[in-house]
Structures are given as C-alpha cells and as structure tokens.
Amino acid sequence: MNNELLKMGWSDELQNAMDALAQENLTPARIAIRHRARYRIIDERCEGEATVAGSFHSAGASEWPAVGDWVAVTLQGNGPAVIHALLPRHSAFSRQAAGQRTAEQVVASNFDTVFVVSTPGYDFNARRLERYLLAAWDSGGIPVILLNKSDLCADAARYAAEAESIAPGVAVHAVSAITGQGMETVRGYFASGGTAVLIGSSGVGKSSIINALAGERRMDTGELRAHIEKGHHTTTHRELLALPSGGWVIDTPGMRELRLWDGDDSARGLFDDIETLARDCRFTDCRHESEPGCAVRNALESGRLEAARLTNYRKMLRELAYQKAKQDRAARMAEKKRQKDLGKFRKSLKG
C-alpha cells in the first residue's frame, strides 16, 4: 500500500472499496475544500481542482463528497479531475441543513478525534456544550473538549471542572492558542497521525488553534476583543489541512445554531446520569414530573441533579424525536414520488 496514502489516512477498507469499483484509470484522492459542486482535492502527489460526475446530481445531499471524504477520481490532462465515486466514511459530523427542507448536511468526515472548542468565562454555556457533545458522540469520532483562551480567565479550572461534570469520561483541556498553554497536550493527539475536526461556536478560536498546531498562520483569525474575551467569526468554509508534525485537521465555520440530525442513543449515553436515575423510578413510564417514587425528582430536590441539565435532556430528546418524524415523512414522500415516476415511465413504454 502506498506510504503517502497511508499518511493521508488510507486504510484496507478504503482499498477494498476502491478495488470493488473495478474501473481503470481511477485514483484515490481526499477532499480538502468544497465550494458547491467544485472541489479542491489532495492525492499522493499533489493538490488540484475537481468536479463531480453527472451521476451525483441525482444523489441526495449527504451522498455528495464532503471535506475529509475519500473519493475515486479520473485525472484530466488540462482540466479539473472528475469525481466518480464516494468511498465509505468511517465517521461523519452531520446536522440538519439550513432552511425548511428535511435534509442531512455532512459538515466533515473521516476523522478520529472531535475537538469541541469552547471558552471559559462569561461565554461558557454548559447547555450548548452538551449539544455539541451529542453531535460529536454521534459522529463516530472521539470527543475532546478544549477550553480555549484560558489565559484570559482567572477561574479556568472551575469551568474545566463543570465541563467534566457534564461529560464523564471525556478529556477536558484548558488551552490558549496565543500563549501556547496546553498546546503540547493537543499535539499529542496527532502523535500517530490521523485526522481531527474542530467544532464550536463562532469566536471560540478554532482557527487560532490550527495556526498554533501548524506553527504558522494557516487560517485567518479575527482580532481578539480582550475586554469581552471573544474573537470575531472568520472561518467561512470547511478545509482539510496537513500538519507539519503529521496528521490532518479540519476547521469548520462557527455555528450560531447546531440543528441536530440524529443521535437518540448518543443522547441517552451523554445523559447517562439521568438515565441511571430513571431506572430507579417506581414506574417504568415515569415522566419525572409529579409521579410518586420518582428518583429523578428526588435527585433534583436534593441538589444531586441540576434542573437545567434535565430540561436540556428533555429538549434534545423532543428535538430528535421531531427530527426523526420529519425524516420518516420525507422518506415516505420520496418513495411515493419514486413509485409515481416509475409508473409513468412504465406507462410510456407501453404507449
């Protein structure tokens, strides 16, 4: 297996998928940047432009290549390469696409670690962090919390402890991309190569972290407004970048609102403390409201469970249930349309 491809994250599974295509002149490449139907790809030799084959235009949005994806391409002499197939993903960070249409948007794929970036201090929001952690767990990657700009917060340890309390078993690191605090620990996640994706709200300093990892200015960053400990939103697209010490990192734009796509099982895992309490309720269908013998209500009253955490747990489960119902309805409508179109086609053949 080509050593350069291995450094980029190539695997036996990907090689098997490539071999199964059984087409000549196809070569593997990885998506570095996407701009609508135009792409920047990286192969074992160089970078170049690419566009998708016509077959993708009838595919769903989630079936189009995303940043981090491996694809099979044909290289053209004077023009952009042509992407013919999307190879299997081993992880993917998805969200509900913007707008009213029920559609999955794959933000990034094929990563091993998900750095959930937040900041300690006034902008720290435990409920928002829970939402990002749910998406991270559901992606198939391993979540790690980075509290960036910790040099600007005199009580960063308190916020790190709060982050640990809502995410048992998840590593939490207080870091500063500007001073270098904790960045050696972050670099350790790339010791054996692999890919990481950074997710988080606008202004938390994801691009600054990437610049610190790269040892140079690779991404634009906004000037830091120290008096409110917040940076400007600067990243406007997703991009896969190679780190000089090995490994790859994907930057993503900050999200004003992370609309969940899936993750009911991940939600129950993230809120395992509530799920464990619920097993001790007197009634199996307990709603944790006014029922007698409710272990969850007892934990609330004794202060062992934070009311806001329970509220967020309920909110996310309702959102995921609603999202699943919309997805099921969209799937039924799509199948109905397919059957109708198929009937018209068969009728035209008879006519």
Q: Which of 26, 82, 19 is nearest to 52 (CA)?
A: 82
Query: Minimum mean pLDDT among 2-6, 157-161, 224-228, 266-270: which range?
Result: 224-228
Query: Minimum mean pLDDT among 100-104, 184-188, 283-287: which range?
Result: 100-104
Which of residues 18 and 268 earns the better pLDDT score? 18
pLDDT per residue as tens digits for the range 252-302: 875 555 655 455 555 666 788 888 898 999 998 888 888 899 999 999 899
pLDDT at 245: 83
Q: Across residues 223-238, what is the average pLDDT?
A: 46
Query: For domain 264-345, which CATH number applies: 1.10.274.10, 1.10.40.50, 3.30.2350.10, 1.20.1560.10?
Result: 1.10.40.50
Tokens of 207: 């691009």
Query: Minimum mean pLDDT among 22-36, 121-135, 165-179, 334-348: which range?
Result: 334-348
Burial environment of residue 149 by CB neighbours within 10 A (0 to 12, 13 to 18, 19 or more): buried
| Residue ranges of domains in the chain | 3-88, 93-251, 264-345
User: Could you tell me the pLDDT band of residue 327, with boundaries at 50, 70 and 90?
Assistant: low
CA atoms of 119 and 321, how far apart (whole Å): 30
Helices (H), the chain: 3-7, 12-21, 126-139, 156-166, 183-187, 206-214, 264-270, 272-278, 295-302, 307-350
Query: Minimum mean pLDDT among 22-31, 45-54, 146-155, 228-237: which range?
Result: 228-237
Which of residues 155 and 338 earns the better pLDDT score? 155
Measured in whole angstroms, the distance separating CA 256 from the mean position of its chain's CA atoms is: 15
Which of residues 267 and 73 earns the better pLDDT score? 73
Query: For domain 93-251, which CATH number applies: 3.10.20.440, 3.30.70.100, 3.40.50.300, 3.90.380.10?
Result: 3.40.50.300
Domain 3-88, architecture per CATH: Beta Barrel (2.40)
Within 10 Å of residue 39's Cβ, how many Cβ atoms?
26
Tokens of 127: 């409920």
Which of residues 18 and 340 earns the better pLDDT score? 18
CA atoms of 66 and 130, how far apart (whole Å): 25
pLDDT at 264: 54
pLDDT at 225: 36
Give the gyration radius of the chain's Cα atoms: 23
- Calculate the average pLDDT of the chain: 83
**DSSP letters spanning 259-298:** ---S-HHHHHHHTHHHHHHHTTSSSTT--SSS-TT-HHHH
Burial environment of residue 268 by CB neighbours within 10 A (0 to 12, 13 to 18, 19 or more): middle
pLDDT at 224: 39
Q: What angle do CA 187, 190, 193 make, to 5 degrees?
A: 155
Q: How many CA atoms lie within 13 A of 260 on its CB side?
A: 26
SS3 assignment, position 50 = strand
pTM: 0.77
pLDDT higher than 60, residue 221? no
